[in-house]
Structure 1
Amino acid sequence: MPQANLDALKFLLERRSVSHKTLSFPVPDRAGIDAILTAGARVPDHKMLEPFRFIVLGDAALNRLGGVVQIYGDQIGQDADKTAKAVFNFTNAPLCIAVVASLKPTDMIPEVEQTLAVGACCLSVLNAALASGWGANWITGWTAFETAFLQDHMGLSADEYVAGFIFIGTAKTEPTDRKRPELDAITTWVTE
């Protein structure tokens, strides 16, 4: 019989993202962030291509990006409400780990497999932050895929995008649980 890690299983069964709207200081220190990133990078990654990389954005960088997002959104004619939401996302939370999808050109590993590894990396970063006791939330939004913005203001290449902005901080309020999927509605059992 396998040895169960009951603490890990309990965490996974009860994990709950914390709204980025409720995050404030303090935030993890450098050692805490390194532990979160180490866990984040420890995902299935066929042929070890590392189709992801991290950008750690501190409070000053997030505030700078919030100002730039306002200007950029106005320049491209982005919906004013979407721009305001993006500005808030950047300026509200005190720390963010941007998980950058940096897929590698290869005939050996399909792009979709690399993309799935990047998604797994986002979830691992989120779960590591939550398991460390911090509040955390995975957000994307239009800025995650806006190539010119990402190149000019976050140093991404033309073929990269942000798979997830993982906002991290101290939760001001305890999150409530939400409706979860009905397993019977999404599960098919094949026994023969």
Structure 2
Amino acid sequence: MKTEIKLIDYLSTRRSIPAFQMSGPGPSKGEVEDILKLASRVPDHGKLAPWRFIVYRGAERQRISEALAKIAVADKPDLSEEMVKVENTRLTRAPVVIAVVSRAAPHVKIPEWEQLMSAGAVCLNLVMAANAHGYASNWLTEWYAYDKRAYPILGVNEGERIAGFVHIGTPTVPPTERPRPELSEIVAWVGDDA
């Protein structure tokens, strides 16, 4: 039975679970569709939807991971056996991995920067929507998010970029807290009440 929590309580305790600390079950296809509907409810100046999703599930994750590993080994033939194993499992750490693909491009009215930020907002909404469905999630960008040679393997088109990969599954460990910045280090007050 899932427990409802208030949004403020969720935000004050939200944490990511590392992808390698997830297992099954992952969300069903129907749950993924519900998660994506929620994830797409972000600020989007001009209603451009300057992003899209690629959902990786099942055995295809292993095939893609192995193809990515070939690129990594070609670039670094002296990779340790342990790192080759890591490369061979990039998309198999969690039962579902969703790529958020930015389609940001020059526009007569909407700055490209705003389109990129909208894709970032989608990534965060995706993390929170997965959590709202009772799953752990982790937003990652790894080397292949920036390597154009990986894009055809991943299903990314010319002119697109990866905003992030959100790994979704069931946590195998409880979440742990990490240091957070002190407000005094990240906030500047301007105005009479400062």
Same fold (TM over 0.5): yes
Q: Judging changes above 3 Å, is the alpha-carbon distance between structure 1 residues 79 and 138 closer, same or farther for their aligned structure 2 residues?
A: farther
**In 1, Cα distance between the equivalents of 2:60 and 2:105?**
28
More helix, by proportion: 1
How far apart are residue 83 of structure 1 and its match? 6.0
For 2:159, the equivalent position in structure 1 comes to 159
Q: Which amino acid in structure 2 is aligned with residue 187 of structure 1?
A: V
Runs of 5+ in structure 1 lacking a partner? 1-5
- Tell whether the 8 Å contact from 2:72 to 2:87 is kept in structure 1 after alignment: no
How far apart are residue 175 of structure 1 and its match? 1.1
Please tell me the root mean square deviation across aligned C-alpha atoms, in Å: 1.8
Deviations 1:54-100 (A, max 9, x none): 00100312111111011122234487367654433322222101111
- Tell whether the 8 Å contact from 1:86 to 1:143 is kept in structure 2 after alignment: no
**In 1, Cα distance between the equivalents of 2:78 and 2:162?**
20
Deviations 1:8-57 (A, max 9, x none): 11111111111101111101112211111011110000001111100010
Give % identity. Answer: 36
Q: Which amino acid in structure 2 is aligned with residue 56 of structure 1?
A: V
SS in 1 for 2:100: strand
- Tell whether the 8 Å contact from 2:146 to 2:162 is kept in structure 1 after alignment: yes
For 2:172, the equivalent position in structure 1 comes to 172
Runs of 5+ in structure 2 lacking a partner? none
Q: Which amino acid in structure 2 is aligned with residue 146 of structure 1?
A: D
Matches within 5 A, 1:103-182: 103-151=104-152, 153-182=153-182
**In 1, Cα distance between the equivalents of 2:120 and 2:170?**
24
Q: Which amino acid in structure 1 is aligned with residue 7 of structure 2?
A: A
**In 2, Cα distance between the equivalents of 1:85 and 1:37?**
28
Of stretches 122-131 and 65-74 in structure 1, the one that deviates more from structure 2 is 65-74
Taking structure 2 as the reference length, what is the TM-score of the superposition? 0.88
SS in 1 for 2:46: helix
Moved >6 Å (runs of 4+)? none
Q: Which amino acid in structure 1 is aligned with residue 158 of structure 2?
A: A
Of stretches 85-94 and 132-141 in structure 1, the one that deviates more from structure 2 is 85-94
For 1:3, the equivalent position in structure 2 comes to none
